[in-house]
Amino acid sequence: MAKITLCCYKMENEIHLLTIATQSGKQESIFTSGFPIWVLGNDKKINRINKGDFFMPRQINVGIIGAGWPAWQHIKGYQKLENVKVLALCDINKEILTKIAREYNLPKTFTKYEDMLKLKEIDAVSVCTPNFQHVPQVIDSLNAGKHVICEKPLSVNTEEANKIVEPLRKSKKKFMIAQVKRFANESRYLRKLINDNELGRIYYSKIKYLRRAGIPGIGSW
């Protein structure tokens, strides 16, 4: 495989360095900016390169444990992402499992999450079950070699949550709590103020969150 370094120009005349590996007539690139781009090749010609001309990152296959409302949000989010496929869904309620799998066109279903974790092609797992089930399912997923995103809260108490620390360290996988508020505009703005030192040294903070009871159109817990 021969490597060549090219000088790439975007429409705004920003200059980037791009390394292209050529094999069997195809090209692969670590370039991640917007397409199309224009490349000055070894032949001194300017060539237009479109997004489809490159190998994109390989598909990430996801398995979801639990088929309730949180799982629906995970499925819809994943299906908006390029190169991500929800490969499997698991729930002990076979009727709901079948209904959701059909609605979102999911290829594989399981009633036991342990069986789903045996699929080697699954890269990551979303844990969307009742709170008391989170810790054992997260640990089993990590031990199976999967990256994990777990619905909030992580566990019902600190003692349970601490059980995840060692399996996570040994697995060397990515783990995240699906605490969406950290990505809300107000949270991101507050983080910017802190990073820009607009608030000075912070000694204490207290945050309250006021909202209506329940979710419009869905109801309450």
Higher-scoring residue by pLDDT: 138, 52:
138
According to DSSP, the residues that pair with 16 across neighbouring strands are 8
Predicted TM-score (pTM) of this structure: 0.69
Q: How many domains are there within the chain?
A: 2
**SS3 for 129?**
coil
Q: Is residue 108 part of a domain?
A: yes
- Model confidence pLDDT, tens digit, residues 115-147: 999 999 999 999 999 999 999 999 999 999 999
Residue 24 belongs to domain spanning: 2-53
pLDDT, mean over the chain:
80
Residue 90 and residue 163 in one domain: yes
Higher-scoring residue by pLDDT: 92, 213:
92
Higher-scoring residue by pLDDT: 51, 70:
70
Residue 47 and residue 76 in one domain: no
Which one-letter amino acid corresponds to residue 70? P
Which one-letter amino acid corresponds to residue 189? Y
pLDDT at residue 208, rounded to an integer: 81
Q: What is the mean pLDDT of residues 85-91?
A: 98
For the chain, the helix, strand and coil percentages under 3-state DSSP, each to the nearest 5: 30, 30, 40
Higher-scoring residue by pLDDT: 18, 86:
86
Residue 78 clears pLDDT 50, i.e. is over it: yes
Q: Is residue 197 part of a domain?
A: no
**SS3 for 101?**
helix
- Model confidence pLDDT, tens digit, residues 17-41: 343 434 444 443 334 445 555 554 5
The DSSP annotation for 7-74 comes to EEE-TT--EEEEEEEEETTEEEE---S-S-EEEE-TTS-EEEE-GGGBPPPPPEEEEEE--SHHHHHH
Q: Cβ of 170: how many Cβ atoms within 10 Å?
A: 10
Residue 32 and residue 131 in one domain: no
Higher-scoring residue by pLDDT: 67, 181:
67
- Model confidence pLDDT, tens digit, residues 165-204: 999 999 999 999 998 888 888 888 988 999 999 989 999 9
pLDDT at residue 45, rounded to an integer: 54
Last residue of a domain, one of 18, 38, 53: 53
**Is residue 213 very low, low, confident or very high in pLDDT (cuts 50, 70, 90)?**
confident
